[in-house]
Amino acid sequence: MEPPLTLHHGRFWSPSRITFDGASVGLIKLEAPFRYLGVDLTLTLDWRHQYARAMTLLAELGEGLASSPAGKRLTIEMEESCVLSALLYPCC
């Protein structure tokens, strides 16, 4: 168990007792990614998780376009509209 921390009024509190609207608030580890508005972030601003997610999405979309029966012109238009927007706007 973590030792309690001292507040400036001499009261003790523990991070496990922090509540918001009656619900217990958990602590986030520094290196653990969490999703905010569709983007995987860490408290250390490490973008490796988001980069890996974007590369996986790009590979899936690329495989889908490669196996598509659409012609070259339509494939290029789909790349410009779907693939780019999926990478640039992950929250949508």
Q: Is the pLDDT score of 6 beyond 50?
A: no
Q: How far apart are the first and last CA of the chain?
A: 40
Structural domain boundaries in the chain: 5-88
For 28-43, what is each residue's pLDDT tens digit? 788 889 888 888 889 8
CA 34 from chain centre, in angstroms, equals 5
Tokens of 72: 């070259």
Give the whole-angstrom CA distance, residue 87 versus residue 35.
Answer: 15
Q: Is the pTM of this model over 0.75?
A: no
Per the CB < 8 A criterion, the answer to whether 31 and 46 are in contact is yes
